[in-house]
Structure formats: structure tokens, C-alpha cells
Amino acid sequence: MSIPSAAVEIPAAVRALAGDAELAPVWLNGIGGLTFRTDDGRFIKWGPHDAEANMRDEAERMRWARRWIAVPEVLDQGQDATHEWLVTAAIPGRSAVDPRWSDDPATAVRAVGAALRTMHDALPVDACPWTWDPEWRIVNAAERGVIVPADLRTPPPVDRLVVCHGDACMPNTLLDDDGRPAAHVDLAALGVADRWADIAVASMSTEWNFGPGWEDALIEAYGVEPDRERLEYYRRLWNET
């Protein structure tokens, strides 16, 4: 995932959704999906159909979650034969991996850890209609033709059930200009699971974005001691599914 060139080609569907608004590309994901910001306060996310996490599910989960936490308002969602799109209202803030934070990873990493804890404490497990537990993830992987190693079929005992983000990588938390958590994005896999499923991925993603040495800082900001067994299991599960 990366920030795309300003010269990126604008898909016809995105151009139609933007109307008369000017478009600026802000994100390119690993399967060729693009996110654009308009000059009238919207984000347009567009990409190929994805069997693992689709934008219809994301829109549904965002509408549910925004009753308790800050997430963008869904304005439109749709699809055609090959691609799908999601239009949301812009929220003031920048991704935790925006160039603004390149020279201050300590602020960004700790803000993401704190934001994840706040999310886990705020979203009601009993009211959440979705799961993201290992059994569901392994079945989902199998439906996509991915066979998970047998030893991952027995997860560690649950520490604490929460409503997990489902893709708690650093880019998916927005920060304000002072480095405080502003909102969460990319909630297509949101569901109930052990909190370490999110903590493992969030802390692991610090290395992808800022290099080694920041994993435990995020966990400390979340407010727990590193659980090496659960971290290893949920990182492997992420990589295998």
C-alpha cells in the first residue's frame, strides 16, 4: 500500500461519482484499488471485487460503528461487473502513515495504540452482528482457496472479547494535526474476536511503516503487557489468511 502518483489515471466510475469536483489520489492498495479525495469534502474508494473484504460489508459496518466511534459517514456505495466503490464524507485528519509523521513515528505509533484501545472499549460486543474469530477467518480463507496450517486451527484461549477493527494496520487510523486519534477507516472485516487479533496486526504494521523497534511502544500505548504467545499466533493467522 502506498501514496500514488498525482498522475494516476482516474477510472471512469470515479470521475462520474466526483461530478464537477476536482480529484486528488491519496492511496493505492495492494490489489490496485485507489482512493481519491475530492475538493468538496468526500473520499471515493474504488477497486476490483475482493473476496476477502468488500465495500458493501465495509459500508454496513461503518454505519453500525459510527453510533459509538468516529468513522466516516457513508454517502454512496455500489458496484459494476468488475469493480466496486464507496463514497464517504471527509473527516479532518490524516493517516497515521502520512508524510506528516515520517519524522515523528513515536507520536503516530502511540496514538494508534491508544485509539485501538478506545475503539475496543467503546464498541458493544453484545450488539455486534459479525465475528472475526479464527474459525470464521479460516473458513473464509478456505472459500478463497487458501488452506491454513493445521496448528492454527487451535487458537490460544481468549483473553478479552472485543469488537475488532479487522484491519488495524497503521494507515487505518486518522490523526489530527496534533497527533491525536481522529477516526478509524477501512472497517470491512470488523467483528467480534480476541483483542489480540487486532493488537498483533497493529503492532506488526509499525515495522512495515516505520521500521523495527516500535511494536512494543504501540502495545504499551494500548495499555497491556506484550503477550508473546498470542502475538505470534495472530500474526501468523494474519499472514496465512
Judge whether 126 is annotated as a binding position: no
Show the CA angle centred on residue 86, arms to residues 175 and 92, nearest 5°: 25
Show the CA angle centred on residue 67, arms to residues 62 and 70, nearest 5°: 65
Residues facing residue 25 across a β-bridge: 36
Query: For the packed helices 195-210 and 228-240, what is the interaxial angle rounded to 10 degrees?
Result: 80
Judge whether 186 is annotated as a binding position: yes
**What are the helix and strand counts (H, E) for the chain?**
7, 10
Q: Which residue matches cell numbers 497503521?
A: 170
Q: How far apart are CA 148 and CA 241, in angstroms?
A: 7
Closest CA to 161 of 206, 208, 197, 201: 197
Per the annotation, the verdict on 103 as an active-site residue is: no
Q: Where are the alpha helices (DSSP H) in the chain?
A: 12-18, 55-65, 105-122, 134-143, 195-210, 215-222, 228-240
Q: Which of the following is catalytic: 98, 151, 167, 198? A: 167
Q: How far apart are CA 130 and CA 162, in angstroms?
A: 11
From edge to edge, which strands make up the β-sheet containing 94-95?
A: 94-95, 173-175, 181-184
The cell for 40 is 468538496
Instruction: Give the residue ranges of the annotated binding site.
Output: 172, 186
State the binding site for Mg(2+): 172, 186
Catalytically annotated residues: 167
